[in-house]
Amino acid sequence: MTATTLSDPAPSSQILGACPHDCPDTCSLLTTVQNGVAIKVQGNPAHPHTAGSLCTKVSRYTERTYHPERILHPLKRVGPKGSGQFERVSWDAALSDIAARLTAIAARDPQAILPYSYAGTMGLVQGESIAARFFNTLAASQLERTICAAAGGEGLVHTLGGKVGMRVEFFAESDVILIWGSNSITSNLHFWRYANDAKRRGARLICIDPRKSETADKCHEHVALLPGTDGALALGLMHELVRNDWLDHDYLARYTLGWEALRERALQWPPERAAATCGIAPEQVRALARDYGACARKGQAAAIRMNYGLQRVHGGGNAVRLIASLPALIGAWRHRAGGVLLSSSGAFPVQRAALQRPDLLAGRKPRSINMATIGNALLQPASPDFGSAIAALVVYNSNPVAIAPESAKVVQGFAREDLFTVVLEHFQTDTADYADYILPATTQLEHWDVHSAYGHTDALLNRPAIAPLGKAKPNTQIFRELARHMGLTDPCLQDSDEALCRQAYGDAVDFETLLAQGFATLPTPDAPFAQGNFPTPSGKCEFFSERLAARGLDGLPDHMPNHEAAHTSSAFPLAMISPPARNFLNSSFVNVNSLQATEGEPLLEIHPDDAAARQIAQGDVVRVFNDRGDYQCRAHVSTRARAGVVNGLGVWWRKLGLNGTNVNQLTSQNLTDLGHGPTFYDCLVQVSRSE
């Protein structure tokens, strides 16, 4: 591949890109183009983490890009909200009307305008660059982007000092790997490759997950704990590490803060108590502690790969704090193949202020609206506390009607006749059905972008492989043109994608390397915390966090029961989690025909005992319900679900489900202990056979 400038047409038939989806792996893509048409998307063999392979979802990227239902023209609503009836309009007509509507609302109160976006693309440029500048110029309401990782992210920050951890490639050298709250085969495939290398070398793999996932099938041991009890399990492990003196006293003394207090707390959690809370056998707690602690005593490497599933519960932030503390107890950080990884995103020198220009607020301090409670926010009338009711919503890179919790309220909010809604999209999603205007956005094959990652430490560049289809435009271009139509004149609102790509890392990553090979590896130490040096205020692993204590919170992590803990309701006796179906990624790919055909229908995995107690047979249509609503899907009677827990695989588009709803009809708008995150996996339900 020859190096080009960003304005040149692609010179060869194989174009380097980056996967834009919300997945830790951020693969390097190689798109084959013939006569201007992308015919194949593959993994780049030259990128060490991608190693030439992609997941099934993204290897179907051409099917998604050329999908017959792609939105290729601006559309204006002509029917009632939610009816999905639109007519084609020109870009100029759409942008002129949107600009007039937003200008009028901004004149009354710019905070009545709310952007709503997340990780539909993880790209730094097509995510929050011109869009953020546009909304900062207006001083629109800010969005608290909490929907996925807020609790765990804050848990990491208050323990390790940031979203930092082991380098993923060194898992291949680990001797024990706890895969905690992650179905890696489905959602972290390229980590799984390293774990498998370790397994072949003799490493012991232990999966900790309420669901007996495809990953659990391939591990030596599966600990099927109840949802939201991960913190209790971590405390039980600490108890055993203390009681058996499987501790690295030197590491604890030199490189940690608050050990005595944490030790006292851990001693309150003997295996029997932890096991009773987790719904497992005490011997499983003891055995897990033995595997983990003894490994380090032998000088071997003990590693933990967490993922974000476990923090989608009331105590998610505290659970992550407890799990992230474990490596310091046994000195696992001394070894490059020991420690913990939840996210590596803190390693990237992203120049956010340059991209997003918060200075454009010019001293104005708009309110923040939490995206996890958008249902409540849209239904909130004007008040002195709340301020103006939300009058306009601009949605990009997200599908809140499908993915936000407590859908009934979200739908009610989006259906408000007095709400003006603009949606930038590839497809007519559940959210787009409620738009006043749908604006056709480009896919990753049609625009430039720059990426960070949260499962490795390589920065990536995405080149366009093909010209935009139809009248589609990149998000950046849509916001540039909207700014012009609104008479916003700051020159930074017109920065080109080339300028933005270069601004994303400034001088911190060599742009020529990105241009030449599509990725650039960040210089990171092999064993970053072998001698402390945590990016915390104390420089130590902070079991006790002064910063949390200063906020009036417990400075020491603890187990916090779910808002809706198992066995606390006779009306709703089953705990429900909603992990992603294997062929979907959040609500992306649900409408890709080949992937949808593989998934079949929305499924609820239910344990044979729970099914028998309800006269539910394999394949029955079932009603899953609680006080917030009900959802119909097909029962899959299987030991993939543990007794007392059902797995509602998601996230289906509502309109593609059996009764026009999905699992989020049941989830609540309760929030996590840290980070104001949603609690999707903290949800009690009942299930019955549908009549």
List contacts with ligand SF4 (CB under 6 A). Answer: 19, 21, 23, 25-27, 54-55, 57-58, 189, 585
Closer to ligand SF4 by CB, 55 or 166: give it.
Answer: 55
| Sign of CA pseudo-dihedral 268, 266, 253, 294 | positive
Q: In what order do the strands lie in the sheet with 458-462?
A: 449-451, 458-462, 519-521
CB of 13 to ligand SF4, least distance (A): 20
Closer to ligand SF4 by CB, 57 or 480: give it.
Answer: 57
Closer to ligand SF4 by CB, 311 or 444: give it.
Answer: 444
CB of 42 to ligand SF4, least distance (A): 10
Of 474, 459, 457, 473, which Cα lies nearest the Cα of 515?
459
Closer to ligand SF4 by CB, 136 or 444: give it.
Answer: 444
Coil, strand or helix at 480: helix
CB of 60 to ligand SF4, least distance (A): 10
> Are 77 and 85 contacting, i.e. CB atoms less than 8 angstroms apart?
yes
CB of 198 to ligand SF4, least distance (A): 19
CB of 185 to ligand SF4, least distance (A): 10
> Are 54 and 41 contacting, i.e. CB atoms less than 8 angstroms apart?
yes
CB of 24 to ligand SF4, least distance (A): 7
d(CA 91, CA 85): 18
For residue 483, report the phi and psi dihedrals to the nearest 5 degrees: -60, -45
Closer to ligand SF4 by CB, 62 or 661: give it.
Answer: 62
CB of 656 to ligand SF4, least distance (A): 20
| Residue 538 in tokens | 């104390």
Q: In what order do the strands lie in the sheet with 37-43?
A: 14-18, 28-34, 37-43
CB of 57 to ligand SF4, least distance (A): 6
> Are 186 and 158 contacting, i.e. CB atoms less than 8 angstroms apart?
no
> In one letter, which amino acid is 633?
C
| Residue 691 in tokens | 């009549």
CB of 54 to ligand SF4, least distance (A): 4
CB of 122 to ligand SF4, least distance (A): 9
d(CA 686, CA 684): 7
Closer to ligand SF4 by CB, 23 or 94: give it.
Answer: 23
CB of 545 to ligand SF4, least distance (A): 32
Closer to ligand SF4 by CB, 23 or 466: give it.
Answer: 23
d(CA 239, CA 256): 17
Closer to ligand SF4 by CB, 307 or 370: give it.
Answer: 307
Coil, strand or helix at 631: strand
For residue 593, report the phi and psi dihedrals to the nearest 5 degrees: -55, -45
Closer to ligand SF4 by CB, 21 or 473: give it.
Answer: 21
Closer to ligand SF4 by CB, 58 or 147: give it.
Answer: 58
Closer to ligand SF4 by CB, 54 or 527: give it.
Answer: 54
CB of 581 to ligand SF4, least distance (A): 14
Interstrand relation of 420-425 and 437-440 (parallel, antiparallel or unpaired): parallel
Q: Between helices 130-138 and 475-485, what is the axis angle to 10°?
A: 30
How is 121-163 classified by DSSP, letter by letter?
S--TTTSSSHHHHHHHHHTPPEEE--TTTHHHHHHHHTTTSSS
Let me know the angle formed at the C-alpha of 218 by 214 and 222, rounded to the nearest 5 degrees: 85
Alpha helices in 189-346 (DSSP H): 189-200, 214-218, 230-243, 249-255, 259-266, 271-278, 282-297, 316-330
CA distances from 639 to 285, 607, 619, 643, 645 (A): 21, 5, 15, 8, 10
Of 673, 608, 668, which Cα lies nearest the Cα of 635?
608
Closer to ligand SF4 by CB, 55 or 337: give it.
Answer: 55
- Using left for φ > 0, alpha for ψ between -120 and 50, and beta otherwise, residue 350 falls in beta
CB of 2 to ligand SF4, least distance (A): 25
d(CA 198, CA 304): 13
Closer to ligand SF4 by CB, 23 or 177: give it.
Answer: 23
CB of 462 to ligand SF4, least distance (A): 12
> Are 654 and 295 contacting, i.e. CB atoms less than 8 angstroms apart?
no
CA atoms within a 13 Å half-sphere pointing along the CA-CB vector of 5: 5
Closer to ligand SF4 by CB, 27 or 556: give it.
Answer: 27
CB of 25 to ligand SF4, least distance (A): 4
Closer to ligand SF4 by CB, 460 or 478: give it.
Answer: 460
d(CA 61, CA 18): 12
CB of 460 to ligand SF4, least distance (A): 10
As a 3-state breakdown, the chain gives helix, strand, coil percent values, each rounded to 5, of: 35, 20, 45
Closer to ligand SF4 by CB, 192 or 479: give it.
Answer: 192
d(CA 562, CA 431): 29
